[in-house]
A = this chain, B = another copy of it.
Amino acid sequence: MKTTRNTAAKTAVLEVFEKSKTALSHTEIQKQLNDICDRVTIYRILDRLMNDDIIHKISNLDGTVKYAKCNHSHQRVHIHNHAHFSCENCHEITCLENVKPSYIMPHNYKVKEINFTLSGLCPNCLNSNI
């Protein structure tokens, strides 16, 4: 079994996630890291963090991909089936940990994962628009 190591770059990436309240794209992470490491390294760190269930991947409506820290506080078995909100004004993506959709599926489908993304205006932008 492969062990994973705590390198300087990995720690820096984790700090960026810690500081951020919203989901981040690879490019955003790279900017915040001020080129302390190669962009390939960031991709590999993100892969490792996803394998270790420390972050999860979110693909937005427009095809952009972001990553956010997992919140393990609520449940023992960790599932990513929570909703995400994508603001059309500031383009920030936030996890809505407590929003879980209910739905009825047609027969003969086996659902393993769900991705529920809502878009519109976040509280910040909603207030400043009035």
Interface check A65, CB cutoff 8 A: yes
Sort chain A's interface into a size bin: 35 or more
Assembly stoichiometry (copies): 2
Which chain A residues (80-122) contact chain B, with CB distance < 8 Å?
A: 83, 85, 88, 96, 98-122
Q: Are A102 and B101 in contact (CB under 8 A)?
A: yes
In the assembled complex, the CB of A114 is this many whole angstroms from the nearest CB of chain B, namely 5
Interface check A32, CB cutoff 8 A: no
Hey, which chain B residues are within 8 Å of A117, CB to CB?
A: 114-116
Q: Which of A96, A109, A127 has the most CB of B within 10 A?
A: A109
In the assembled complex, the CB of A29 is this many whole angstroms from the nearest CB of chain B, namely 16
One of B61, B122, B127 near A115 (C-beta < 8 A): B61
Report A50-85 CB contacts with B as 1/0, cut-off 8 Å: 000000010111110100000000000000000101
Q: Are A103 and B99 in contact (CB under 8 A)?
A: yes
Hey, which chain B residues are within 8 Å of A65, CB to CB?
A: 63
Q: Are B101 and A96 in contact (CB under 8 A)?
A: no
Hey, which chain B residues are within 8 Å of A110, CB to CB?
A: 120-121, 126
A99 to B117, CA, bound (A): 15
Q: Which residues of A contact B (CB under 8 A)?
A: 57, 59-63, 65, 83, 85, 88, 96, 98-123, 126-127
